Amino acid sequence: MFGLAGKVAIVTGGNGGIGLGMARGLAGAGARVVVAARDANKSEAAVRELGAGALAIAVDVTDERSVDALFRDAVARCGRLDILVNNAGINIRKPPHELSLAEWRQVIDTNLTSAYLCSHAAHPAMKRAGGGKIINIGSMMSIFGAPYAPAYAASKGGIVQFTKACAAAWAPDQIQVNAILPGWIDTDLTRRARVQVAGLHDSVLRRTPAGRWGTIDDFRGIAVFLAGRASDFITGAAITVDGGYSVQG
Ligand code: NDP
């Protein structure tokens, strides 16, 4: 049910934060993980930690040619592709009236168009392998809005709908496509948010029934579940991993 021996996984943004947490889960269950991100030093450090044949391939997920090269290279070096985690993401925290078109595009390209580019590139190899698993990373802003996150919220809402479309399209190919919606997790991204958004740290603690911020290791289990046989009849779902943040107002 939960073993991933012999499987190959690409994790975008797998060199830190939630992506690294998910990569730890996948590698721990026996998968060979391709860490796909821009910062080569961070990626090499992640690969050393993951072991189990992990490798790093540099990619800019906003660039179609770079994404296509990632998938060609990964399949050439690992022989197959079974699992894709579309995790790379950024935020530019400004209200809509201050956000430029270039900033809007940067966030949408990194968080949403990247999931299209990577899933599109992954589909042929997964079909050849007889099936596959795609895991997209949404957010609490797939559900809620925030005054400082117009492009981010749009991208994360879009991720949920994109997940459903791919799930419906690729079910006949035995490819399950699901989304994870993390609550507030302690990473570089939210360390910056806590500096930029006054009172954020305490308001998250107050609202989260679990009474804590999430850690990247909270994502190991869900990664293994959504990447393995245990979830073969689950597709198009958006699963919160949020300590209960979204269940109370
Ligand atoms: P981090 O900033 O720690 O990690 C972001 C990752 O994305 C890095 O590994 C970075 O690697 C990679 N990345 C960014 N831009 C690109 C790019 N153009 N090409 C390739 N890789 C890129 O953030 P988190 O771990 O917090 O975020 C991971 C995901 O989880 C994001 O999608 C985020 O929106 C989502 N999320 C996070 C939450 C949280 O509370 N932390 C809550 C909800 C969702 P590099 O710089 O080396 O390219």
The angle subtended at Cα 239 by Cα 247 and Cα 11, nearest 5°, is: 135
The response to whether residue 163 sits with its C-beta less than 6 Å from ligand 1 reads: no
The response to whether residue 190 sits with its C-beta less than 6 Å from ligand 1 reads: yes
End-to-end CA distance of the chain: 36
CATH pick for 8-242 out of 3.40.50.720, 3.30.1490.20, 3.40.228.10, 3.20.20.70: 3.40.50.720
Which residue type sits at 123?
Answer: H
How far is ligand 1, taken at its centre, from the CA of residue 97, in Å? 25
Atom of ligand 1 nearest to the CA of 186: 41
Strands (E), 71-172: 83-86, 132-137
The neighbour count for residue 79, using CB atoms within 10 Å, is 12
The predicted pLDDT at position 52 comes to 80
Strands (E), the chain: 8-12, 32-37, 55-58, 83-86, 132-137, 175-182, 238-241
Using the 8-state DSSP alphabet, how is residue 141 labeled?
Answer: G
Token pair of 120 as six digits: 């599109």
The predicted pLDDT at position 244 comes to 98
Name the residue of 11, 12, 15, 38 whose CB sits within 8 Å of the most ligand 1 atoms, as the mutation to test its pocket: 38
Cα separations in angstroms, 148 against 7, 17, 103, 195: 39, 21, 13, 13
Closest Cα partner for 192 from 46, 86, 93? 93
The neighbour count for residue 154, using CB atoms within 10 Å, is 18
CB-based burial, 196-229: b 16+ in 10 Å, e otherwise:
ebeeebeebeebbeeeebbebebbbebbbbbbbe
The response to whether residue 61 sits with its C-beta less than 6 Å from ligand 1 reads: yes
The response to whether residue 89 sits with its C-beta less than 6 Å from ligand 1 reads: yes
The response to whether residue 164 sits with its C-beta less than 6 Å from ligand 1 reads: no
Which residue type sits at 188?
Answer: D
How far is ligand 1, taken at its centre, from the CA of residue 11, in Å? 11
The response to whether residue 110 sits with its C-beta less than 6 Å from ligand 1 reads: yes
Which residue type sits at 229?
Answer: R
Q: What is the Cα–Cα distance from 82 to 65, expressed in whole angstroms?
A: 21
Which residue type sits at 25?
Answer: G
The predicted pLDDT at position 185 comes to 98
Atom of ligand 1 nearest to the CA of 66: 19
The predicted pLDDT at position 235 comes to 99
The angle subtended at Cα 119 by Cα 70 and Cα 93, nearest 5°, is: 90
**Taking the domains of the chain in order of start, what are their residue ranges?**
8-242
Per residue of the chain (249 residues), what is the pLDDT tens digit? 999 999 999 999 999 999 999 999 999 999 999 999 999 999 999 999 999 899 999 999 999 999 999 999 999 999 999 999 999 999 999 999 999 999 999 999 999 999 999 999 999 999 999 999 999 999 999 999 999 999 999 999 999 999 999 999 999 999 999 999 999 999 999 999 999 889 999 999 999 999 999 999 999 999 999 999 999 999 999 999 999 999 987
Q: What is the Cα–Cα distance from 138 to 105, expressed in whole angstroms?
A: 17
Catalytic positions, written as ranges: 152
The predicted pLDDT at position 248 comes to 86
Whose alpha carbon is nearest atom 43 of ligand 1? Answer: 139
The predicted pLDDT at position 117 comes to 99
